[in-house]
Structure 1
Amino acid sequence: MLNSTWVRMAAGQVVRADRIVAVRLEHAEGPTTGRWADPGNVRIMACLDVAEADVEDGAGPSWWQEAAVCSRDRGDVLLVNLLNLMAAAAETSGVRFIYPVLRDDDRLDRWTAGSSLPLIEGAAVSALPQVPRGVAAGA
């Protein structure tokens, strides 16, 4: 049920999944410093269908919002990852949350879903360190 599923966007706000009407990758030209200094970054953008009562300042019936920043070579995979989680949430009932998991270098590692929304650490949820295949994880 998408009307009871919430997706966390890049800035930390959450939006109802049934309000997302389209997603796309956006290649942005950026400044020489900051997160857009790397030309290998792209943004996953979500087009939100804004209810008529929510429209302010002539924003129009829909608008694009940044869902996450990721590396260009993983953009397609992560976009499909988000869409698959939304499709799975549409088939089940109950409140669910979809949120980004970041690597240590603040790049999007994957999208994940759960029944509770974790607190934000910095700009988003941080991933646990990845353990190489065949190596036992220690506590």
Structure 2
Amino acid sequence: MLRAAKYIAILGLFLAAVAAVSGAVAARQYGTGAYFASAVSATMIWAVGSLSLLVVALAPTPAARVNAALLGMLIRMGLPMLALMYFTKSNHPLAAEGIVGLLVVHYLLGLIVETLLSVRLTSATATPAVNATPVAS
């Protein structure tokens, strides 16, 4: 569980850096409100990525880890897709600040890091299938 907390923190730090850079880039077109929109989208992606990592970390067996990774994919895609649908159809102030594009940027970059961390988390908790005791000759 400690490893999962470490990976969640790594994901958060990565997304904070992405939020700063993407907010600065988006502010050129949308104004200073893009910084807030970038922070909101980074927080949303961090929350779903953290939940996905937590689901994988809590799986007790190798078969359960595979199912947990699939459930994590559903969690990771669900909320961002709903947010994209909402913001593209609404007159929300964040939509005017470019949150739709920022969600896509944060999602894709966060997906890369979260997938790598999830694979490491799965392989770190894997149990060997064969007992490694030496055979006497």
Question: Higher strand proportion, which one?
Answer: 1
Q: Higher relative contact order at CA 8 Å, sep ≥6: structure 1 or structure 2? A: 2
Structure-2-length-normalised TM-score? 0.29
Could you tell me the TM-score, scaled by structure 1's length?
Answer: 0.28
The structure where helix makes up a greater share of residues is 2
